[in-house]
Amino acid sequence: MSIFSFLFPKGNQSDAIQILDRDTYKSAIAKAKVQLVDVRTAGEFRAGHIKGARNVDYFQSSAFGEAFSKMKKDEPVYLYCQSGNRSQKAARKLVDMGFSEVYDLRGGYRMW
């Protein structure tokens, strides 16, 4: 095994995570019932959220893991946060948990 294959394995997390612009994201979540998750705090969620989203606070580590353990890993998950930072971290956690298709809203809810 070369040092490059060790440092940059094939099938890395970025293959499972896609960042979508607002219009593409909006079209994707409108097509069917999807796993749509807002990873902001409960207060941020109450202040406004995308219709149909479930709130799973990224900062509540044990509740975060428990909520996603009950979701379907073989179906797409659509994430967003306020700006895109937390949702990217959440997306990486989901891939580590076995989710194979994760979509993130570019710019987060503020771009919605």
Q: Which residues are catalytic?
A: 81
DSSP letter string over the chain?
--HHHHHS-TT-HHHHEEEE-HHHHHHHHHHS--EEEE-S-HHHHHH---TTPEE--TT-HHHHHHHHHTS-TTS-EEEE-SSSHHHHHHHHHHHHTT---EEEETT-GGG-
